[in-house]
Amino acid sequence: GFFDIMDEALIFRNGAITGFPTVSVPGHLSVGTGMLNGHHNFIGNGFYYRVEQQILSPGNIIAEADRYLADPQLALDLFDFIMNPDGETIFEAATRHFGDGIFTASVNELTLRGAQHSLIDMAAAFAGGARADYYELADQVAIPQVLGLLDEHAESGKKMLFFVSMYTTDDSGEH
């Protein structure tokens, strides 16, 4: 189970992200790309896009779940539009290095480009409208989702890279 994962995984303990004050989106993008805040185009949770007169953020994927579930490519298009075009996600870097010899998964994580499994796949379980308890539900299925993916891909002989976030603690820290 979970403790087996911890015994065999590479886990960063007591890690730090440079940037003050800490803000969700830039922090997640820094971990997911290796770029410092601002270098991935974010110093806050979103920015105002004058052409469309709206605030853009990777968080739009969750806030407008129905729209992104209807056309999951929109999530990747949004990520490509708002991210530094020279940036590479950890999933893209791992695939570049290992080729077909790795399975990558972005669980509850906004850094999703290049992941073979991402919140777009998981969000389908919540189709039918935005839910007030989305964060709690997403967190409740995060570990079973990881365990299921590990079981599904265990016999493949591939290396596995998972980037897992827990929404509830992140959301609580911002209020």
3-class DSSP string for 76-98: HHHHHHHCCCCCCCHHHHHHHHH
What ranges make up the beta strands (E) of 11-167? 47-49, 54-56, 102-107, 159-164
Residue closest to 28 by CA, chosen among 93, 92, 109, 90:
109
174 vs 143, more confident:
143
For residue 28, the model assigns a pLDDT of: 82
Beta carbons of 91 and 127 less than 8 angstroms apart: no
What percentage of the chain carries pLDDT values higher than 70? 72
76 vs 95, more confident:
95
pTM score: 0.76
- Residue 127 pLDDT > 60, yes or no? no
pLDDT classification of 63: cutoffs 50, 70, 90? confident
- Residue 101 pLDDT > 90, yes or no? yes
Note the pLDDT tens digit of each residue in 78-91.
888 888 888 899 99
